[in-house]
Amino acid sequence: MTGVYVLGVGMTRFGKHPDKDAADLGSAAFQEAVTDAGIEPRQIEAAYCGHVFQGMVTGQRILAQVGLAGLPLSNVENACSSGATAIREASLAIRAGEHDVVMAVGTEHLTTKFRGALTPDPSDPEAAVGATMPSVYAMRARRYMEEFGMTRRQLALVAVKNKRNAAANPLAHFRKEITVEDVLESRPIADPLRLHDCSPVTDGAAAVVLVSDRAVKKLGNGRAIRLAASTLFTGTVDVEPTTMTFEPLTHKTALAAYERAGIGPEDVDFAEVHDCFSIAEVLRVEGLGLFERGAYPGAVERGEADIGGRLPINPSGGLLGKGHPLGGTGVAQVVELVRQLRGEAGDRQIEGAKVGLAHCRGGKAVGIEGAACTVQVLVK
Amino acid sequence: MTGVYVLGVGMTRFGKHPDKDAADLGSAAFQEAVTDAGIEPRQIEAAYCGHVFQGMVTGQRILAQVGLAGLPLSNVENACSSGATAIREASLAIRAGEHDVVMAVGTEHLTTKFRGALTPDPSDPEAAVGATMPSVYAMRARRYMEEFGMTRRQLALVAVKNKRNAAANPLAHFRKEITVEDVLESRPIADPLRLHDCSPVTDGAAAVVLVSDRAVKKLGNGRAIRLAASTLFTGTVDVEPTTMTFEPLTHKTALAAYERAGIGPEDVDFAEVHDCFSIAEVLRVEGLGLFERGAYPGAVERGEADIGGRLPINPSGGLLGKGHPLGGTGVAQVVELVRQLRGEAGDRQIEGAKVGLAHCRGGKAVGIEGAACTVQVLVK
């Protein structure tokens, strides 16, 4: 069975792109990833496109724009894990021996479709009773504060950290540092969460070129990074008293990824995690086993999760700072991992990192159904 | 590299299901396929769900309904090839060694969303100038008549054959035989095509359990059928004078499938092809190399494509007779292939068949972008 490597990466600026659509953004990321890999477009053998709201055959529209109409391509959807799922499926196509050079692209154009926040599905009974994403995460934040004594100020520091990292990321949606006071004084969304605790509605795309052992030998540019694990599980949303402050699905997916990669959480040097809300980052890093339960807010306060800290979390700025174009998000996380592991992360470079982890989690707010979780491990 | 086998199949009745949604239909097909495979639900390790218009995390809703929330699942979309793409991705997951027992399910609920015909995407410039699916296929029919001397009566015989086959299929949308006169007197849709030349808007789902070499040895029920090829390409739509009466994309996908399966078109005993319109069946069987260019209308007239004929085409009734629930279609074709190869096709049984082929083709009506084509070869 062949290994899988990331040979090239590309990413558009995240933010508002009123003059472009999802295919335009996807094409730009696709082309940059080809160039970055140091290969010709015609060497791409197949592609996967992750998105949520962009309509039928979006990936084919990207192929047409980059002059590659005709390739095998599958569009994949797994809510906020759609882009990460595209990477997983691309890696399976390589491991199956079907293809040696496969593009995974994630894209989403949201700002002209949604104003302020994503509109809940009107057929969704949870949304009808007010159990929207912000309100569910607000409940989880309140519960976590109660259980572990996290202060509102500690929670704000997660947003402050990620916006600071984003300010050092030229492709981030937000490039302005904020203070704890800015968070606490921002508009209330769902108590205790305020505007700066919430990820924005963003347009953007990212792409990665994945290759086999054989292709990395033939095409290798000396900068290939190994995709040591790409795991996916679905599951239920965590609103039971016993699971609200911990994520069994994140935990299970991480354990499978660690086993596949032959590492433990102690080997992870930095991570990009799905911080759709400030509290989400807390729950996720603990679910991933990167920090002990209840320990993360204090660790953030002591700077342990900063770039330069013991275990940097979301050096790209995360969803809170870099932005959250659903399909683009999971692929952009891997782009950040690769740039960090190559030493190409500029002002936000983490020194000496060898193992990076990316975590995505998506789906409906509550209910017995509808979640998807991915964990990817990249090793230098 | 492991082989891939179909161990179990399931399918809902195709037609109108006003009291159900896509997840209900998908769950029913899923459960039937598990039972048919002779395994326990918990032996399913992962799933793929193909659909077009059913919204975010539809596959997860199916898993929840069948009591399997938690499995790895990816939703895939490739227009009318979505279900077939789910089978392809499931087969790659098996060949990659990631899973041994994988469900591919395709589902679609359309009749409460669309009345009469699918509404063209308002952003689609081709639809805005009238280049909708029926009008483009009408042009292709007219051109084929001009080039090869096909008569309107010969074209009607395709619909008559498929509706006759559907009448023998208890799960078909239409169960009533029709005459050439019925076709010619039905409502004009886009000249020369009439109502009976067009596939209907249908609700329905189908599912197949795919397994590896190892699993077929362990779980084999003596009825496993080998998936000898599952190929996918994207491409352009054929409205150039040189491609209008032939399908380069269908041809290319078929050649790759024949090579993978180690067969030629002369080895195919019967086929399910994407007859979204009567003329589409003509173009497809010739693109697949099953009949010479220009030869199919005469062959249909002589009964060669009938059940009992030299090379039966669409014994299930095809899209014209069985119905066309987009995501369900490609999976249902494989269900038919398996039932025929097992000798379980009842009144529409083809005697002695050993090799069956399924062909799907989907995408936008015209333009440089947006098509997807799949060919699957099953061998007894």
At A372 the pLDDT is 94
In-domain check, residue B93: yes
Of B1, B60, B233, which has the smallest distance from its Cβ to A97's Cβ? B1
Q: How far is CA A176 from CA A116, A303, A347, A376, in A?
A: 19, 19, 14, 29
Q: Are residues A299 and A263 in the same domain?
A: yes
* pLDDT tens profile B12-63: 999 999 999 999 999 999 999 999 999 999 999 999 999 999 999 999 999 9
Q: Are residues A222 and A257 in the same domain?
A: no
Residue with tokens 């010739």: B286
Q: How far is CA B218 from CA A299, B38, B41, B215, in A?
A: 50, 12, 16, 5
Beta strands A204-212 and A193-194: pairing type?
unpaired
Could you count the other beta carbons within 10 Å of the beta carbon of residue B245? 23
Could you count the other beta carbons within 10 Å of the beta carbon of residue B128? 12
Of B226, B241, B268, which marks where a domain is finished?
A: B226
Distance from CA of A88 to the nearest CA of B (A): 10
Contact (CB, 8 A) for B279 and B245: no
- Position B323 pLDDT exceeds 80: yes
Q: Are residues B66 and B181 in the same domain?
A: no
At B236 the pLDDT is 74
* pLDDT tens profile A16-42: 999 999 999 999 999 999 999 999 999
What mean pLDDT is predicted for residues B282-311? Answer: 98
Could you count the other beta carbons within 10 Å of the beta carbon of residue B222? 6
Beta bridge partners, B102, equal B46, B210
Overall number of domains in chain B:
2
What mean pLDDT is predicted for residues A175-190? Answer: 98
Beta strands A101-108 and A204-212: pairing type?
antiparallel
Q: How far is CA A86 from CA A32, A36, A42, A183, A193, in A?
A: 18, 19, 20, 34, 31
C-alpha count within 13 angstroms, C-beta hemisphere, residue A166:
26
B173 counts as catalytic: no
- Position B238 pLDDT exceeds 70: no
Distance, CA of B180 to chain centre:
24
Beta bridge partners, B216, equal none
Least confident among A179-188, A273-282, B246-255, B334-343: B246-255
Distance, CA of B231 to chain centre:
14
* Residue (of B151, B119, B192) closest to B294 by Cα position: B151
At A367 the pLDDT is 58
Q: Extract the tokens encoding A214.
A: 């054989």
**How does the average pLDDT of chain A come out, rounded?**
94
Disruptive mutation site among B88, B98, B123, B326 for chain A (greatest number of A CBs within 10 Å) = B98
What mean pLDDT is predicted for residues A249-264? Answer: 97
What is the pLDDT confidence band of residue A368, given thresholds at 50, 70 and 90? low
Q: Are residues B72 and B165 in the same domain?
A: no
* pLDDT tens profile A57-95: 999 999 999 999 999 999 999 999 999 999 999 999 999
> Which H or E run includes B163?
helix B152-167
Report which of residues B331 and B363 the model is more confident about: B331
For residues B59 and B25, give the distance between their C-alpha atoms in angstroms, rounded to a whole number: 11
Q: Are residues A338 and A274 in the same domain?
A: yes
Least confident among A191-200, A332-341, A369-378, B335-344: A369-378
At B220 the pLDDT is 81
Q: Extract the tokens encoding A4.
A: 């899988």
Beta strands A73-77 and B371-379: pairing type?
unpaired
For residues A349 and A328, give the distance between their C-alpha atoms in angstroms, rounded to a whole number: 22
Residue A102 forms contact with B (CB below 8 Å): no
At A160 the pLDDT is 98
In-domain check, residue B104: yes
- Position B366 pLDDT exceeds 70: no
In-domain check, residue B246: yes
Which residues of chain B make contact with A97, given a CB cutoff of 8 A?
1, 95
In-domain check, residue B214: yes
**Phi, psi values for residue A35, rounded to 5°:** -60, -45
**B369·A72 Cβ contact <8 A:** no
> Which H or E run includes B211?
strand B204-212
- Position A363 pLDDT exceeds 90: no
Distance, CA of A356 to chain centre:
13
Q: Are residues A147 and A26 in the same domain?
A: no
* Residue (of A81, A236, A259) closest to B70 by Cα position: A236
Which residues of chain A make contact with B75, given a CB cutoff of 8 A?
76-78
Residue B166 forms contact with A (CB below 8 Å): no
Looking at residue A8, which CATH number applies to its domain?
Answer: 3.40.47.10
Q: Extract the tokens encoding B98.
A: 């990631």
**Phi, psi values for residue B212, rounded to 5°:** -85, 175
Could you tell me where the DSSP H helices lie in B48-123? Answer: 58-65, 82-95
Q: Extract the tokens encoding B123.
A: 């952003």
> Pseudo-torsion of CA A269, A270, A274, A280, nearest 10°?
90
In-domain check, residue B120: no
Q: Are residues B270 and B372 in the same domain?
A: yes
* pLDDT tens profile B112-123: 888 777 777 666
DSSP label at A349?
P
- Catalytic residue, from B49, B80, B360, B373: name it: B80
In-domain check, residue B119: no
Residue A92 forms contact with B (CB below 8 Å): yes
B198 counts as catalytic: no
**B69·A97 Cβ contact <8 A:** no
For residues B261 and B251, give the distance between their C-alpha atoms in angstroms, rounded to a whole number: 15
Residue of chain B with shortest Cα separation from A62: B369
* Residue (of B93, B91, B342, B377) closest to B262 by Cα position: B377
In-domain check, residue A120: no
DSSP label at B41?
G
Which residues of chain A make contact with B96, given a CB cutoff of 8 A?
1, 92-93, 95-96
- Catalytic residue, from A49, A80, A198, A276: name it: A80
Residue A143 forms contact with B (CB below 8 Å): no
Q: Is the pTM of this model over 0.95?
A: yes
Residues 336-375 of B with CB under 8 A from A: 362-364, 368-372
Q: Are residues B168 and B218 in the same domain?
A: no
**Percent share of chain A, pLDDT over 70:** 97
What mean pLDDT is predicted for residues A171-197? Answer: 98
What is the domain range of residue B320? 125-194+227-379
* Residue (of B237, B303, B322) closest to B358 by Cα position: B322
Q: Extract the tokens encoding B175.
A: 């169960």
For residues A345 and A351, give the distance between their C-alpha atoms in angstroms, rounded to a whole number: 10
Could you tell me where the DSSP H helices lie in chain A? Answer: 22-37, 58-65, 82-95, 125-128, 133-148, 152-167, 180-185, 213-219, 248-261, 278-287, 296-301, 318-321, 326-342
For residues A351 and A342, give the distance between their C-alpha atoms in angstroms, rounded to a whole number: 10
Distance from CA of A363 to the nearest CA of B (A): 7
For residues B289 and B301, give the distance between their C-alpha atoms in angstroms, rounded to a whole number: 19
For residues B38 and A176, give the distance between their C-alpha atoms in angstroms, rounded to a whole number: 59
Q: Are residues A70 and A145 in the same domain?
A: no
Q: Are residues B220 and B236 in the same domain?
A: no
Q: Are residues A150 and A239 in the same domain?
A: yes
At B197 the pLDDT is 98
Handedness of CA A244, A249, A252, A255 (dihedral sign): negative
At A173 the pLDDT is 98
Residues whose CB falls within 8 Å of the CB of residue A68, separated by 6 or more in sequence, listed in order: A41, A42, A44, A47
A254-272 burial, b if ≥16 CB within 10 A, otherwise e?
A: bbbbbeebebebeebbbbb
Q: Are residues A36 and A59 in the same domain?
A: yes
Residue with tokens 């007779």: B321
For residues A12 and A33, give the distance between their C-alpha atoms in angstroms, rounded to a whole number: 11
Contact (CB, 8 A) for A101 and A209: yes
